[in-house]
Amino acid sequence: MGQAQRVTLAPGTRAAALYGTPDTVEDFRCNYGVNPAYVAPLHDAGLTPSGFGAEGELRIVELTDHPFFLATLFLPQMRSTSSQPHPLLAGFAHAVKLASSKL
């Protein structure tokens, strides 16, 4: 039903920092994607493209100035376990912990 695809991470982004590697393989459960005509307007509106498929298609976006806003077109939970949490889910949990300690 799904498929695994390589995702290349943009240097200097939160996604790249969380993974600690220039690319990864992720599980997709659909063939949907972002219309390439909307990538520039999304960037202009404040979203940072931070992950791309093999043909340059957008796979991850983030808001740089937000404590943790990262959206994917794949399912990080599919490669996550309690003993080895997915880097994006571990990053989210860390951001929540930091935010709750400031309350």
Which residues of the chain, if any, have pLDDT below 50?
Answer: none
pTM (predicted TM-score): 0.91
* Predicted pLDDT at 30: 85
* Predicted pLDDT at 1: 62
* Predicted pLDDT at 2: 81
Give which of 22, 29, 79 is closest to 50, Cα–Cα: 22
Domain ranges of the chain: 3-101
* Predicted pLDDT at 55: 92
* Predicted pLDDT at 13: 97
**CA 17, CA 56: separation in Å to the nearest integer?**
20
CATH architecture of 3-101: 3-Layer(aba) Sandwich (3.40)
* Predicted pLDDT at 102: 85
Q: C-alpha 70: how far from its chain's center?
A: 5
